[in-house]
Amino acid sequence: MEVSFHDKIASLKLGEGDTFHGEGILAVTKALLQSGVSYVGGYQGAPISHLLDVMVQARDYMQELGVHVEPCTSEAAAAAMLGASISYPVRGAVSWKSVVGTNVASDALSYLSTAGVMGGALVVVGEDYGEGASVALERTLAFALKSSIWMLDPRPNLTSITDMVEKGFELSEASNSPVMLALRIRACHVKGSFATRANRAAAVSTARPMDEPASFLYERLSHPPETFRQEKLKAEVRLPAARRFIVEHKLNEIFDGSDTSLGIIAPGGLHNNLLRAMELAGLADAFGNAKISVLALNVVYPLVPDEIAAFCTSKKAVLVVEEGQPEFIEQDIATQLRRAGIQTPLHGKDILPMAGEYTTEVLLKALSSFVGLHAPHLGTETPDKALSRIADIRKRAAGVLDALPPRPPGFCVGCPERPIFTAMKMSQAEIGKPHIAADIGCHAFATYEPFSQGNTILGYGMSLASAAGVGPMMQRRTLSIMGDGGFWHNGLLSGVSSSLLNKSDSVLVVIKNGYTSATGTQEIVSSPLDAARASAGGASAADSDVTIENALRGVGVKWLRTVHTYRVPEMIKTLREAFTTSEPGLKVIVAEGECQLERQRRIRPVNAAALRNGERVVRTRFGVDEDTCTGDHSCIRLSGCPSLTIQDSSDPLKVDPVAHVNNDCVGCGLCGEIAHAAVLCPSFFRAEIVQNPNAWDRFVDRLRSTVIGWVQPA
């Protein structure tokens, strides 16, 4: 999350014949510039967060090229930007995360695909699917099919990815349709190289603005009665044009095998996994030379019937490799083959799992079954041996891992959100346990131990809206959690405004850490104007910015409190007041504390520079007095901080391990706050580590040492 691309931006300036070295998402940025893009927008979200980060950090160079870069407040806002390509010959690209982002953008995308585009319109989608995903395991392909938006799924190497970015614009313009480019998590961060071309300055850009707007043409609007004509254009003009372009430019690739009796059809994004599985199965060498022919679909929609028919004709059987369900690609291929009268046996979900990521092991099992059914002469002994080795490794790993305690994900060290859930947990002893509506963001870590708080997660900024159906049926007020990123994304309108309209009596905690932190601390509307003044333990960001509070007051919130997150007793008191006050309506607590990652990123260079200059630097640390600690570990159960752990006691009379603060501590003070608020043992101490001490520091140190020496036993 602390990735910076400032030192890599120079690679965006590489020219004709140079070689780019780097990771996938930076290569996509370079490809956009080579394509003559006029504007770029998007909403942050893994795995493509860095695409917008790169553009923002390279803003000066973008301005030289005349590229307009706009970080959007939501995916819907980003999709609406592509409206510029409807009436003007300008290329635009936007990005967001996976199917959840596409769902938010769906309104604008439906109208965009219906109206069609004049300039190339490309949506770079981070296809967050599989075991590393952080969202619902659905695929954006379903939306592409519904709205006739062509979808690219390039093979995960930088040459293929960058080629598909450039061809994506051309395909969009050739068929007057928007195009999606899906990049899986590993493709976004794959390392490699490719031969670059010179960046193209767009004919229309911020450097070369248009003199006049386009002439009014009602047929460009996605509005009845034009929508009926546009629907026919999709099927009768744009779809055939797209298929012609795919064939003429050979966007899909065929890798001929030495044995032509079998074939495999797979999306380009799965090509690397498939080749590795074939290698383990003895069906390919380390250089990708395979025994079975493979049709790599760099374009998963639309499929080209003639291309599919030509590949499948004369094959004894074909295996379709497609993650997720329903099996859209497999069904489409089956339909096309039967319409063409081709009876080649088709396999897919009958030997592959219906759901889940197709890892090398999963594909290896499928290849073993496929070859065993139709080409036993190729042998299944090798895949069986490979599977046996994998099973043995799993067994040995399980023996080691079973001995380790589970370690659920959690907040960062010193995270300002942890104290909020500590206060919530402690306040429940007095006010009772409420229904808690959780939300998307860092604060979702509170659903894990030691907090285990949250009954629902239904979308970004949707917590308060999700509690609307529960609240009227509860004796106690509901509690909704929302981050400041979610507040601006959807929460203000879908949650707060709706709650005020319906006069709901509930409690909302807005966590104001200053950034959309879960995706890399991107700035939002309420980010501190002067971050140097905002400190997690001291000055409040509200000194320079009160946008969230002003917005809440502006829409009519009457009961509003702002509390610093690290002040646990004050947070407990405010929660108690919110749940017990007789005042009806929405009660909002703005919990304020700067993201610790961003704070550390800000203060570390400042402290390092001060130390180099010989200036005095004070660092706060917390610790545990081993003699005082009783070993009941209630502090850990109320905190969960990774820096707060246990160690064996040096006292032989103490059987239980004692609490211990390791060197990861950033001095947030939460452990001490908890000990005070919960009236726990007074074992925590606060220490100030002074580097480059001045004369006064040395005098005080000598005085303290002397006094301690007097009172200490000999």
State mean pLDDT over 448-471.
92
Q: Which of 233-247, 351-365, 512-526, 530-544 has the highest mean pLDDT?
A: 233-247
Percent of the chain whose predicted confidence (pLDDT) is above 70:
95
- Domain 253-401, CATH 3.40.50.920 — does that match? yes
Chain centroid to CA 333: 32
Q: Which of 26-35, 364-373, 541-550, 685-694 has the highest mean pLDDT?
A: 26-35
State mean pLDDT over 563-570.
92
Domain ranges of the chain: 6-209+217-247, 253-401, 418-598, 616-711
Angle at which helices 381-401 and 360-374 cross, to 10°:
150
pLDDT of residue 708: 86
Interior/surface letters 691-702, b for 16+ CB within 10 angstroms, e for the rest: eeeeeeeeeeee
Distance of alpha carbon 136 from alpha carbon 42, whole angstroms = 20
Q: Which residue has the higher pLDDT, 173 or 656?
A: 173
State mean pLDDT over 454-460.
91
Q: Indicate the range of 179-183, 348-352, 377-381, 709-713 predicted with least confidence.
A: 377-381
Per-residue pLDDT at 537 exceeds 80: no
Per-residue pLDDT at 116 exceeds 60: yes
For residue range 644-664, list pLDDT tens digits in order: 888 888 888 788 888 888 888
State mean pLDDT over 538-551.
62
pLDDT of residue 494: 92
Amino acid at 279: E
Q: Round the average pLDDT of the chain to a whole number and report it.
A: 89
Per-residue pLDDT at 525 exceeds 90: no
For residue range 585-622, list pLDDT tens digits in order: 999 999 999 888 888 888 888 889 998 999 999 888 88
User: Number of H helices and number of E strands within the chain?
Assistant: 26, 25
How large is the C-alpha radius of gyration of the chain? 29
- Residue 551: pLDDT band by 50, 70, 90 thresholds? very high
Phi then psi for residue 325, to 5 deg, are: -145, 150
On the question of a common fold for 418-598 and 616-711, the answer reads no
Q: Determine which helix (DSSP H) or strand (DSSP E) holds 610, and give its type and residue range.
A: helix 596-612
Per-residue pLDDT at 408 exceeds 80: no
State mean pLDDT over 333-341.
95
The beta-strand segments (E) located in 72-212 are 92-97, 121-127, 150-152, 179-184, 191-195
Interior/surface letters 226-260, b for 16+ CB within 10 angstroms, e for the rest: beeebeebbeeebbebbbebbeeeebbeebebebe
User: Domain 616-711 maps to which CATH number in 1.20.1630, 1.20.1080, 3.30.870, 3.30.70?
Assistant: 3.30.70
Q: Please, where are the H alpha helices in 340-488?
A: 360-374, 381-401, 418-431, 463-466, 484-486
Phi then psi for residue 505, to 5 deg, are: -105, 90
Q: Which of 331-335, 428-432, 533-537 has the highest mean pLDDT?
A: 331-335
pLDDT of residue 575: 96
State mean pLDDT over 177-190.
92
pLDDT of residue 541: 40
Q: Indicate the range of 63-67, 83-87, 412-416 predicted with least confidence.
A: 412-416
172, 178 contact by CB (below 8 A): yes
696, 642 contact by CB (below 8 A): no
What's the CATH number for 418-598?
3.40.50.970
Cβ-Cβ contacts under 8 Å for 338 (sequence gap 6 or more): none
For residue range 127-147, list pLDDT tens digits in order: 988 777 777 888 999 999 999
pLDDT of residue 380: 64
How many beta carbons lie within 10 A of that of residue 325, not counting itself? 15
State mean pLDDT over 245-265.
95
- Domain 6-209+217-247, CATH 3.40.190.10 — does that match? no
pLDDT of residue 660: 86
Q: Indicate the range of 14-18, 118-122, 684-688 predicted with least confidence.
A: 684-688
Percent of the chain whose predicted confidence (pLDDT) is above 90:
56
